[in-house]
Amino acid sequence: MPRTLLCICLAAAAAGAQSVSGPVLGWSAAPGGGIRIIYGVPGAARSATVRIPGGLRVLRMSPVSSSTLAASGQSKALVIYDLATGDTTPLDGALPSPAAAEFSPRGTSILLLDGTGSAQVWKRDSAGFSLSDRFQFTAGRAAVSDDGSAVLGDTGGALVLRSAGMVTTLTAAPVDSFTFVAGTSMPAFHTAGQLVVGANPALLDGAVQLASPVPGRVLALRDGTRLTLFDASGAVLADEALDTPASGFAAVGRPDTVELIGTPGNLLWLYDASVPRRFFVPAPQLRRFERSEAQR
């Protein structure tokens, strides 16, 4: 889900996350800085916004967990910051101030690109994230596969795939959106009225944004008004019109689930692609949350 870097100033949203009642469903970027904690259960969820001063700037949220990629303080050194625990783990040797940073669809790899053509892939292991690969790669938008073996990049003139050290042009036509199918190194992209999943094209008109929150499935937002879920062969699994238009997807730290961003008002709309189903979270109650915290 390539997007421009998300910047959220915070120090320890975990303090709020651990003090609310009920299970935490996920986290969302709050307008003006901070984190919106989503808790409860689908269909009966609530949220609260936490703004705690600090020196962290979150660049990306993990699609499946409370981990985030963040820049720390004046040094802008990259760290993994855990929203649930407040723990901060440095990524020693990571590219500073990356021009692009992306989690893989299931959050097991991170791609970093700087403005000089340097690229790094970090992979999750038992000790956290460690540097897996470094190479030269220039792209305005990019994505990385879950196993870290493949990278997609929009060079401005073509969509290219880097795999096993080789770079292949997938299309020279303009591309709306692209991703890897979760759990695989299979690319999925939309261009010239077609959704291409691996080697399987399917007609799909309009402007399209893509995500792959579930292994073997690709979710398409069509013209901001329709959600269509495909399998890896391009077959339609689910399709629904949206009564509330959206502009794209964002990670919420919950497996199989994405946020529909750009919706009007202060509701959160989430989509669970494993069911599949769409549900909303009411507007956060910042003042009430702060009062309850003060009474503890």
**Distance, CA of 265 to CA of 71 (rounded, Å):** 30
Cα–Cα distances in angstroms (integers) from residue 45 to residues 24, 152, 270, 279, 288, in the given order: 9, 35, 11, 9, 16
CATH architecture of 8-294: 7 Propeller (2.130)
Give the angle 273-100-119 at the CA atoms, nearest 5°. 110
Mean pLDDT of all residues in the chain?
A: 87
pLDDT of residue 134: 97
pLDDT of residue 125: 93
Reply yes or no on whether the pLDDT at 15 is more than 50: no
Count H helices and E strands in the chain, helices first.
2, 28
Domain boundaries, the chain: 8-294
pLDDT of residue 9: 41
pLDDT of residue 285: 61
Reply yes or no on whether the pLDDT at 296 is more than 50: no
> Which pLDDT tens digit goes with each residue over 83-117?
888 889 999 999 988 999 999 999 999 999 998 99
Mean per-residue pLDDT, 251-258: 96
pTM for this structure? 0.88
Percent of the chain with pLDDT over 70: 86
pLDDT of residue 16: 40
> Which pLDDT tens digit goes with each residue over 255-288?
999 999 998 877 899 999 999 999 999 877 653 3
Residue type, 251: A
Residue 59 near residue 71 (C-beta atoms within 8 A): yes
> Which pLDDT tens digit goes with each residue over 198-207?
988 999 999 9
Q: Assign residue 132 a region: left if phi > 0, alpha if psi is -120 to 50, beta otherwise?
A: alpha
**Distance, CA of 149 to CA of 166 (rounded, Å):** 11
